[in-house]
Every structure is written in structure tokens, then in C-alpha cells.
């Protein structure tokens, strides 16, 4: 079976995966992911029509959002989950069609709206003709996929917010309207470019929604020293991004003799006041998502994925039978914890019972790392930060947010951080921080030189900090601030963060370690000409570019 996927930074040969995903995705799973996206484009025609009747279908909103989330890189590799998902989509389509029929509204009988498949083999066959390359015009394809990948990242944040009881029907309506737009062959490149920026606008709104949901539920992140060592109890290592899962796991493990540790993107859970009351919440274990192939071996206990990023275990791995998934995540052979029903918490009892039978974690490092510099905490330090800038103690801020990855080229970000002058400060969010958050970079007058705002969605905090500094310094343009953007990307949540920054007018962003393969030359030129987006160079070249007045060692 053929496949084509170029949605992540690791796209084979910098152009696209055609045999098997570098992420580990099989051609069969890739086909079903393409088909699921095709299906929700059709469903969005129905939901958009229903909105003309002032009908908001919450079940359809959830299905479309969850489906987008399931297709994010490294989130779900489970073939059967996608087969069943598509079958559920047919049931949803029939119900939506019936509602429209009651109002005597009938949509055109196009293939997009009428196709059907019963067997998995039939789904695979249909998928061969509806993938990314079905759009022949390279520039139109590029813009459509840029919108879709932004929507995938936004869907992740919408789902996390909804799990905490926060909803935004405007975001759902936009998502579905945008999906419909990607099927409209009459739209010009200029119209699709406008839709790209509108996606960024909605990305800002969605990140704000999630920020409010998180802080209302668990308090504002605060400066925290996170333990890196281990204790002698058996443990559960929780990865991913979903704080509701974190809360429920902590509640259900309390008093069981099982400790809880965070891994990768769940590290910022340590910064929230509500989680600090749990004495069995020990700290963080290991590094970024790709280090799981070694971290999970030495952890010895049970692992829970609440979202991406899953790395398929090697055939020699001893931990595969200790890994559980929940939510949008999935992998064949991993046990899956079902979603909440009737407002009840997820049931983690099987996972906890399993953990009790495991050995305690093997210690791989000791010490602490400091984080918790989301916007509320930085605002509390605003006077100190402003004084440091005015006095010259802080020369420049570097936004080094985004994703980490396993390619050797990622060492650029470690080297760059190490070479930055001691009068500069790094603002970060997302797992890109693992490239430098354990380096002894020191502080400036008590202000740490690495200010970690949290998860990738907490890039919103970095935006708020920049806008606050613009206000304090009475500037007309955020680009006048002493802030440079040197961002790493990997998957689609980084795409929505980038689009959000573009919508806010941030210019001269350097993006690496490579520019997205889904940007056609013409679309890339538009981004370069209009926004100054550029690829990273060598560390020394970029240091001279960002800090021309500093002599590079």
C-alpha cells in the first residue's frame, strides 16, 4: 500500500513519508487517518448547514475535534480504533442527515457526502484516492494542509479545555467551516491565505480558553523546584498533556502506596498549586518524548499516555506490557483506558493494580529544575524584569518554545542556548526546553535565564508576556521589543502556535531544524516576504544575526 504524509518535521528526505512513517505509522494506519479526515470534512458540511438553523450538535463537535486530535503525529497508531471510528462517523452522518431532512434541507449528493464502506479493506481502497496528493495544485494543497494542520493542533487544545468543562462553540463552528473550505475548489490562493491567518486568530482564542480552564481548575502556575530523583515506592509515569487525567490519576492513587511522576510534556503539572497537595506526587522522570525508549525501561513501573507523543517500542523493549493509553492516544497491544461516562471519572484501577506489582524506579538523575513562569507569575515579577531591561542587565529575550525531536540536528538548540551571552533570557514552552532546561545557565539578579511557561499550549503565556512588555515600554509594535524568536517545531500543535504568532503580527521568526515540507516554494515565499520567516542556520551564524554587537566565541 502506498502512503504520503508530510505533516511533521521528520518527513522523510524533507519531503514526505511514502513507505512508512518515520514516526512509525504504517501505510494502513496512514490511509485510515486520511480517510477519517476526509470523513469529517463531509460531516462538517452537515454541521455547517445545521448552524443555519441555529442547531449546535455537541456530539458532532466532539467527534470532529477528537478525530482531528487522533490524527496528530505520534498520537494513535491503532488500526482497529480508526476502523471503528470511521464506522461511528457513518452513524453520526445518518443522524445529522435525518435532522436536516426534517427541515427539508438536502445537501448535494457528492462523493464526499455519500461514500460508504463496511469492511476495513474497502476503507483502505477508498483512502487511496482521497489523500493529501489528491489536490493537484501544489500551492492550493500547501495552503489547505497548513489550515488542516493548524486545526489539528487547535483540536488538541479544544479537547483539553472541554475535559475541564470549558467549551467554545465559535471555535467548533470555525473548525468545521474551515474544513468545508478545504474542499472548495473555487477558493483562490489569496482566500486560503486569509483562512490560514484566521486559523491563527482562532488558535489564540482557543489557547486563551485552555489557559483559563487550566488556571481556574488548578490555580496559576507558580515558580517551582521540580524534583528529578526517585523514591522507593512503585510508580506510575504519566505523559502527554491532559491535566484532567492527571487530576483523576492523583486522586485515585492517593493512599495506595503508588507514587506518580511526570514525563516529557506533563512536567508543567508540577507547577500547578492544586497538584502540590498530593504527597505521592514525586516530580519528573526523564526527558523529552523521544527519550521514552530508554526512560521507560529504567522507570520499571506503569506508564500512562494521555495524548501524543508515542514512540513505537522496539522489539527488544521490556516495557511494552506496562504501557496504557487513554483519550485520543492509542497503540496496538497497549491497554486502553476508556473515556469518561455519565460525568464519572476515568477508571484507573487496573493501571494502579498493575503498578503495585512493579519494582520502584531506577534513579537516572538527581537534583531539581525550576519552572512555572506562566504569564501570571511573570506579571508578578514585571517590575523586576522591566528594571533589569532598563538597566541593561537583560539585553534580550529569546523565545525558544516549541517541540523537541530525536534528530541529531536538534543539538543546535542546546549549543545555541549555551552560547547565548549571560545577559540574555530564554522564554520557553513545550518540550523544546529539554534541550537546555538542565544546563547550568544561572540567573540575572535572581531571574532565571530559562523561564519555562509550561506545555506547548502555554505558548499563549509567552504571547501575553510579550504584549505586557509592549504595554509597559509604551511601544506601538510588539516587534520593537528586545525579543527574538528561534522556535523548534515537530508536529501540528506547533503549527497552530506558529499561526497564532503570525496572526498577532510577530515577524522574523526563525523556524527549525527544517522548514515544513508541506510549504510549497510559493507559499514559503509568501511567509518569508510577509512575515520574515526564515530557517535556522549554524549556531554561530544565527548568533551574529540575532546579536550582531556580540563577539561569538
Tens digits of per-residue pLDDT, 169-200? 999 999 999 999 999 999 999 999 999 999 99
Residue 552, pLDDT score: 59
Strand pairing category for 368-371 and 224-227 = antiparallel
pLDDT for residue 101 is more than 60: yes
pLDDT of 553 > 60? The answer is no
CB 487 within 8 A of CB 458: no
3-state secondary structure of 549: coil
Dump pLDDT digits (tens) for 389-414. Answer: 999 999 999 999 999 999 999 999 99
Mean pLDDT of the chain, nearest integer: 97
Percent of the chain whose predicted confidence (pLDDT) is above 90? 99
Averaged pLDDT for residues 277-288: 98
Q: Please write the tens of the pLDDT for every residue from 456-469.
A: 989 999 999 999 99
| Residue 1: per-residue pLDDT | 77
Distance CA 90, CA 42 (A): 10
Cα–Cα distances (Å) from 371 to 221, 222, 374, 401, in that order, read 9, 8, 9, 14
- Sheet of strand 302-305, all strands in order from the earlier edge strand to the far edge: 281-284, 259-262, 235-239, 302-305, 323-326, 335-337
> Is 60 exceeded by the pLDDT of residue 165?
yes
What DSSP letter does each residue of 135-161 carry, written as one string?
A: S-SHHHHHHHHHHHHHHHHHHHHHHHH
Look at residues 55, 37, 11 and name the one whose alpha carbon lies nearest to residue 407: 11
Q: What is the pTM of this model?
A: 0.97
Q: Is the N-terminal amide bond of 309 cis, ω within 30° of 0?
A: yes
Radius of gyration of the chain (CA): 23
Q: What are phi and psi of 369, to 5 degrees?
A: -125, 155
Q: What domains lie within the chain, and their CATH numbers?
A: 12-216 (1.20.1270.20), 224-356 (3.40.50.2030), 381-546 (3.40.50.2030)
* pLDDT band (50, 70, 90) for residue 2: confident
pLDDT in tens, 372-381: 999 999 999 9
Grid cell 487513554 in the structure block, residue: 326
**Sheet-wide strand order for 396-399:** 450-452, 424-428, 396-399, 483-488, 509-512, 534-535
Amino acid at each position: 500500500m502506498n502512503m504520503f504524509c508530510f505533516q511533521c518535521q521528520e518527513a522523510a528526505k524533507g519531503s514526505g513519508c511514502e513507505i512508512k512513517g518515520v514516526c512509525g505509522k504504517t501505510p494502513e494506519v496512514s490511509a485510515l487517518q486520511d480517510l477519517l479526515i476526509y470523513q469529517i470534512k463531509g460531516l462538517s458540511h452537515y454541521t455547517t448547514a445545521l448552524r443555519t438553523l441555529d442547531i449546535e450538535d455537541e456530539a458532532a463537535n466532539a467527534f470532529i475535534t477528537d478525530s482531528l486530535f487522533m490524527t496528530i503525529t505520534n498520537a494513535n497508531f491503532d488500526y482497529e480504533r480508526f476502523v471503528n471510528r470511521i464506522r461511528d462517523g457513518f452513524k453520526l452522518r445518518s443522524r445529522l442527515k435525518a435532522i436536516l431532512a426534517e427541515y427539508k434541507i438536502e445537501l448535494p449528493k457528492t462523493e464526499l457526502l455519500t461514500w460508504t464502506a463496511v469492511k476495513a479493506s474497502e476503507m483502505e481502497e477508498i483512502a487511496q484516492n482521497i489523500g493529501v496528493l489528491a489536490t493537484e495544485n501544489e500551492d492550493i494543497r500547501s495552503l489547505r494542509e497548513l489550515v488542516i494542520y493548524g486545526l489539528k493542533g487547535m483540536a488538541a487544545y479544544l479537547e483539553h479545555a472541554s475535559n475541564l468543562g470549558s467549551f467554545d462553540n465559535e471555535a467548533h463552528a470555525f473548525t468545521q467551516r474551515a474544513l468545508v473550505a478545504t474542499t472548495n475548489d473555487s477558493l483562490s490562493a489569496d482566500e486560503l491565505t486569509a483562512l490560514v491567518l484566521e486559523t491563527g486568530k482562532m488558535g489564540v482564542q482557543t489557547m486563551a480558553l485552555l489557559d483559563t480552564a487550566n488556571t481556574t481548575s488548578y490555580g496559576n502556575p507558580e515558580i517551582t523546584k521540580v524534583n528529578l530523583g526517585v523514591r522507593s515506592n512503585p510508580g506510575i509515569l504519566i505523559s502527554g498533556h491532559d491535566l484532567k487525567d492527571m487530576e483523576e490519576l492523583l486522586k485515585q492513587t492517593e493512599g495506595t502506596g503508588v507514587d506518580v511522576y511526570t514525563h516529557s510534556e506533563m512536567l508543567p503539572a508540577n507547577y500547578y498549586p492544586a497538584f502540590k497537595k498530593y504527597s505521592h506526587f514525586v516530580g519528573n522522570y526523564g526527558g523529552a518524548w523521544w527519550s521514552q525508549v530508554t526512560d521507560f525501561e529504567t522507570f520499571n513501573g506503569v506508564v500512562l499516555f494521555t495524548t501524543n507523543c508515542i514512540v513505537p517500542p522496539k522489539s527488544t523493549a521490556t516495557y511494552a506490557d506496562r504501557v496504557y493509553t487513554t483519550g485520543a492516544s492509542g497503540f496496538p497491544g497497549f491497554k486502553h483506558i476508556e473515556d469518561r461516562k455519565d460525568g464519572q471519572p476515568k477508571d484507573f484501577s487496573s493501571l494502579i493494580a498493575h503498578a503495585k506489582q512493579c519494582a520502584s524506579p531506577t534513579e537516572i538523575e538527581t537534583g531539581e529544575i525550576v519552572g512555572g513562569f506562566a504569564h501570571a507569575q511573570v506579571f508578578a515579577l514585571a517590575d523586576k524584569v522591566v528594571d533589569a531591561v532598563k538597566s541593561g542587565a537583560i539585553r534580550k529575550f529569546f523565545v525558544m518554545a516549541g517541540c523537541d525531536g530525536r534528530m541529531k540536528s536538534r543539538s543546535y538548540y542546546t549549543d545555541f542556548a549555551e552560547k547565548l551571552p549571560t545577559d540574555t533570557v530564554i522564554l520557553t514552552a513545550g518540550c523544546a526546553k529539554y534541550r537546555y532546561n538542565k544546563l547550568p545557565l544561572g540567573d540575572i539578579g535572581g531571574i532565571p535565564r530559562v523561564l519555562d511557561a509550561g506545555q506547548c499550549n502555554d505558548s499563549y503565556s509567552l504571547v501575553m508576556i510579550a504584549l505586557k512588555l509592549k504595554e509597559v515600554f509604551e511601544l506601538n509594535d510588539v516587534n520593537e521589543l528586545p525579543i527574538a524568536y528561534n522556535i523548534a517545531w515537530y508536529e501540528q500543535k506547533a503549527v497552530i502556535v506558529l499561526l497564532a504568532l503570525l496572526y498577532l503580527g510577530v515577524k522574523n521568526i526563525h523556524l527549525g531544524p527544517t522548514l515544513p515540507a508541506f510549504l510549497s516554494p510559493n507559499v514559503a515565499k509568501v511567509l518569508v516576504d510577509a512575515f520574515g520567516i526564515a530557517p535556522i542556520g549554524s549556531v554561530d551564524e544565527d548568533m551574529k544575526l540575532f546579536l550582531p554587537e556580540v563577539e561569538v566565541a
